[in-house]
Structure 1
Amino acid sequence: MFIRKAFYWWLFPSAVVLPVWLLIGWAAFHSGSGWTFVGLLVLCPILFVALLAIGGILMARKSVRDRRAVSWYDTGLLAGWSASIIAFGFFPPGATGWLAVLGVLFFLGLFWVGLWELVTETRDRVAVTYAAYQQVAQPSQVRRPEGPVVDDADVIVIEEHRED
């Protein structure tokens, strides 16, 4: 449970930390051309928005908000995605291409798994709510008294007249 909670708290800080790590990693480890830096200037805002979108999809689930922990599927995919971004930040020669592809695959996996979990959980919650409303809306069986009904209550009748 501790690991799942840690990734819950990592969701939104990662949107800032990981793109900044790519810029720091480029400055520290990259020895190529300046075009890589221009590519990073385009990539980092896209990565920021993607991380925020994934965080929003995961936080939209009531179970995640209640437990303050993501699911195990989310934990595995988030760990892989974060690891691939961190590894990409070291700019290993010859490996940046497949690390970028791996990062995109982890993003797509997180997006679709997160969306599937959100839809499934919401559908189940709506079904429970609908069943509760359906039960309340059903007329209950009223038992009629077996003996004679005596109705000697006073009735007040108020008549309204409108003058046009």
Structure 2
Amino acid sequence: MAAPHPILRAAFWAFAGAIVALPAWLMFGRALAGAPVGEALLLQAFLLPGLAILIAVVVGLTVARKRVRQQRALAWRDVRLIGPWLLVIALMGVTVVDSSGGATGSALTAWLGAGWLPASESFTAIGVLVTLLGAPVLAWLQVMELGRETRARVERFVDDLNAPLLDQRARDETASFERLDGPQAGSTIRIEGQPEGDAGR
């Protein structure tokens, strides 16, 4: 089996780390840009554990596949499906609007000015929608992939069990038997004490 691509190995650990890192980023990330951190924290303290659970379910179903666990690497399919979803969540850390001490804004407004406040609010609303709708869709797709991989593994196991039987059957079908012609071919064997009429029975 070929070694997995380094990007796929890195994605494995990044996706696992996202379970904790992304909720923490959404809660405190805007402070790194100098944006206010205050009134939204209480609401986020209730909502972000739920986000962590959503991410854990999607990532957990991905890691549940035996190949992913063994190689500690995702498939490109997983990166294409889950990567954009996690990216949207990460970007919300820049656009979440908060208020503190009379100041209202996001990391985006701290960088680009107060005129970006409507854009921050709009992207956050879209991001929340994508997060909530994307989680069950991605979870379902990962369940289907897990089922396909499990079914293929079971079929390979059954084929391996049946292989000796199929080989034996093939040998039996091609086997040929020839009549033995020896010195006593066609002779009648009589046991001592047996009446002559019973010979050969």
Using the aligned pairs only, state the percent identity: 27
Partner of 2:70: 66
Any residues of structure 2 matched to 1:59-98 within 5 Å, and which?
A: 59-90=63-94, 91=96, 92-98=120-126
1:29 lines up with 2:35 in the alignment: yes
> 1:144 Cα deviation (Å)?
9.1
> 1:25 Cα deviation (Å)?
2.9
Instruction: State the TM-score, normalized to the length of structure 1.
Output: 0.74
Any residues of structure 2 matched to 1:1-164 within 5 Å, and which?
A: 1-25=5-29, 27=31, 28-30=34-36, 34=39, 36-90=40-94, 91=96, 92-136=120-164, 140=169, 141=172
Query: Please, what is the CA RMSD of the aligned residues?
Result: 2.6
Structure 2 stretches of 5 or more lacking a match?
97-119, 182-201
Instruction: Supply the distance in 1 between the matched residues of 2:129 and 2:7 (Cα, whole angstroms).
Output: 26
Which structure's relative contact order is higher, taking Cα pairs within 8 Å and 6+ residues apart? 1
2:130 corresponds to which letter in structure 1?
L
Partner of 1:155: none
The structure that has the greater radius of gyration is 2
> 1:76 Cα deviation (Å)?
1.7
Aligned residues: 146
Structure 1 stretches of 5 or more lacking a match?
149-164
